[in-house]
Amino acid sequence: MLRKILVANRGEIAVRVIRACAEMGIRSVAIYTEADMYSLHVKKADEAYSIGEDPVAGYLNIHRIVNLAVQAGCDAIHPGYGFLSENADFAAACERRGITFIGPTADVIRRMGDKTEARKAMIAAGVPVTPGTEENLSGLDEALEVAQRIGYPVMLKATSGGGGRGIRRCDTEAELRKNYDRVISEATKAFGRAEVFMEKCVVNPRHIELQVLADSHGNCIHLYERDCSIQRRNQKLIEIAPSPQLDEGQRQYLGGLAVIAAKAVGYQSAGTVEFLMDENDRFYFMEMNTRVQVEHTISETITGVDIIEEQIRVAAGLKLRFKQHEIQRRGYAIQFRVNAEDPKNNFLPSFGRISRYYAPGGPGVRTDTAIYTGYTIPPYFDSMIAKVIVWALTWEDAIARGERALRDMEVHGIRTTKTYYLEIMHHPGFRAAKFTTSFVEDHPELTEYTEKLCKSDVAAALAVAVAAHAGL
């Protein structure tokens, strides 16, 4: 078994991995840049080391991180998500230095990180994909030819894309001409590669993904699906497990496809196979994420499987502790990504000092976060500050619990998306479990309602402060 793990990440996912290490009797090592000197993951780890003054560069410095792991006596590195988590060169560097990379092999990361290669692998395995190109586009002329053949609308996508970046929908030839160079530029800046490919756009899809676990002994299972359709600009906001929009037959079919996909590429570790579901209930492979997902929490909640612990055990060469027939799901779980953004001001980032923080609690509530009262949120990273996860036996009860938990949560000193999520849950379409990836765009009025809620929250906070000052 592994003895000491360096966590090559920050924030709530670093805290999550450190907690798993503590439960498994494994020593943890945190890394931090100057901006994260007072972060919670630094306080929680058994050891912590600075990786430089630049807020971000240290978390992306492969050789510095691997060298530090060796010097600190670590036998493994957990990459979390984001940063270097899907970087094949990072996994290869760990292997060269005798450090266990807690994730799939470098070859698998490289293959599935290249979206055109991933499409080829899925086609060969019999997994349905959307019509599109099997190779990178050679230029605008080919893009126009392909779009004419498969029909508009189409999606231009960065071959090495992820996180909602490097993606543009084109409804007409004019839009394709306008967006082609933009996607090339975005891909180059974000991923260092100018390659793009094209897919037929699935209009108003539902975004359904499957959590898989696979070991080095040929065992592979799924932990059922998550519905990630509530998005804004391709960024997930609210995730649900299992999807309240699927029936049991669809659920079993997708689970089988996910296992086929993982086995087809020799996958080992925790991963996610993502699908789009069209208006005619047809499913298409979209991509495979070769890391732990932000929303892994809700799969854990409905199955009772600790995904991070299984991921560590698999990396140590151990077998999965569960067979597929032993995985039982129970109830519904919802995760809210609480972001430091101002919903009434076009979701602008709202970084700064948290003057007071009260975490939600009670039955069926889990909060994964790295914030605390007095913590200053740095402006250099993703705006997500907390994940609020709720569970209940029925969909209706899960919504009610989600509303209660979000109202319980108080973060003063910055703006958050909490009130916006409350409005989403009040919407009849959400409550009836009838929504697609266009839900947020189709309901701009929710932002207006949120502004009213924000104002009422401010008034309530002022009243509390006045009462406290008066000694009432």
SS (H, E, C) 82-136: CCCCCCHHHHHHHHHCCCEECCCCHHHHHHHHCHHHHHHHHHHHCCCECCECCCC
Run of H or E including 472: none
Residues 135 and 93 in one domain: no
Residues marked active site are found at 291
In a domain, 309, yes or no: yes
pLDDT digits (tens, 9 = 90+) for 211-248: 999 999 999 999 999 999 999 988 999 999 999 999 99
In a domain, 110, yes or no: no
Domain end call among 184, 200, 216: 200
Residues 57 and 156 in one domain: no
Strand 76-78 to 4-7 pairing: parallel
Residues 239 and 297 in one domain: yes
3 or 472, greater pLDDT: 3
Q: Please say if the pLDDT value at position 465 is more than 50.
A: no
120 within 8 A of 102, measured Cβ to Cβ: no
CA separation for the pair 388, 280 (Å, rounded): 32
- Residue % of the chain over a pLDDT of 70: 94
Interhelix angle 307-315/296-303, rounded to 10 degrees, is: 100
Q: What is the pLDDT of residue 472?
A: 44
pLDDT digits (tens, 9 = 90+) for 190-219: 788 889 999 999 999 999 999 999 999 999
Residues 287 and 397 in one domain: yes
Q: What is the pLDDT of residue 467?
A: 46
In a domain, 354, yes or no: yes
Average pLDDT, the chain: 93
Find the mean pLDDT for residues 61-68: 98
When divided into structural domains, the chain yields a total of 3
pLDDT digits (tens, 9 = 90+) for 378-399: 999 999 999 999 999 999 999 9
Q: Please say if the pLDDT value at position 458 is more than 60.
A: no
Provide the 3-class DSSP secondary structure of residue 5.
strand
In a domain, 269, yes or no: yes
In a domain, 222, yes or no: yes
Query: Among 2-11, 29-38, 257-266, 449-458, which is the least confidently predicted range?
Result: 449-458
Closest by CA to 207, choosing from 271, 283, 127, is: 283
Residues 392 and 446 in one domain: yes
If one counts every other C-beta atom within 10 angstroms of the C-beta of residue 104, the result is 28
Q: What is the pLDDT of residue 166?
A: 84
443 within 8 A of 394, measured Cβ to Cβ: no
In a domain, 115, yes or no: no
Q: Please say if the pLDDT value at position 134 is more than 90.
A: no
Q: Please say if the pLDDT value at position 14 is more than 60.
A: yes
Residues 375 and 449 in one domain: yes
Q: Which residue has the tokens 């605390």?
A: 372
Q: Please say if the pLDDT value at position 94 is more than 80.
A: yes
Closest by CA to 336, choosing from 444, 449, 228, 455, is: 228
Our CA angle for 255, 259, 264, nearest 5°, is 145
Question: Residue 266 burial by CB count (10 A; 0-12/13-18/19+): exposed, middle or buried?
Answer: middle
Q: What is the pLDDT of residue 462?
A: 47
Find the mean pLDDT for residues 71-88: 97
The predicted model scores a pTM of 0.91
Q: What is the pLDDT of residue 187?
A: 85
In a domain, 437, yes or no: yes
Residue 308's CATH number: 3.30.470.20
Provide the 3-class DSSP secondary structure of residue 206.
strand
Residues 30 and 91 in one domain: yes
207 within 8 A of 231, measured Cβ to Cβ: yes
Domain that holds residue 422: 206-458
Report long-range pairs for 89-98 (Cβ below 8 Å, ≥24 apart): 89/62, 90/8, 90/62, 90/65, 90/66, 93/62, 93/63, 93/66, 94/66, 94/69, 97/66, 97/67, 97/69, 97/70, 98/70
CA separation for the pair 156, 136 (Å, rounded): 11
Residues 25 and 155 in one domain: no
Q: What is the pLDDT of residue 165?
A: 76
In a domain, 316, yes or no: yes
Question: Residue 53 burial by CB count (10 A; 0-12/13-18/19+): exposed, middle or buried?
Answer: exposed
CA separation for the pair 466, 93 (Å, rounded): 57
Q: Please say if the pLDDT value at position 120 is more than 50.
A: yes
Residues 189 and 291 in one domain: no
Q: And the tokens for 266?
A: 């020799």
Q: Which residue has the tokens 């932990």?
A: 223
Q: Please say if the pLDDT value at position 150 is more than 90.
A: yes
Our CA angle for 418, 84, 321, nearest 5°, is 80
Q: What is the pLDDT of residue 453?
A: 53
Residues 449, 453, 458, 462: is their CA dihedral positive or negative?
Answer: positive
Residues 441 and 305 in one domain: yes
- Amino acid at the residue 62: I
Q: Please say if the pLDDT value at position 460 is more than 80.
A: no
pLDDT digits (tens, 9 = 90+) for 390-443: 999 999 999 999 999 999 999 999 999 999 999 999 999 999 999 999 999 999
CA separation for the pair 271, 368 (Å, rounded): 20
Q: Please say if the pLDDT value at position 454 is more than 70.
A: no
Provide the 3-class DSSP secondary structure of residue 178.
helix
What letters, b where the CB count within 10 A reaches 16 and e where it falls short, cover 132-148? bbeebbeeeeebeebbe
CA atoms within 13 A on the CB side of 191: 28
- Residue % of the chain over a pLDDT of 90: 88
Residue 185's CATH number: 3.30.1490.20
Q: And the tokens for 253?
A: 């079919």
Domain end call among 140, 174, 200: 200
Residues 96 and 232 in one domain: no
Q: What is the pLDDT of residue 455?
A: 53
Residues 349 and 389 in one domain: yes
Domain end call among 166, 200, 234: 200
Q: And the tokens for 256?
A: 């089988």
pLDDT digits (tens, 9 = 90+) for 288-343: 999 999 999 999 999 999 999 999 999 999 999 999 999 999 999 999 999 999 99
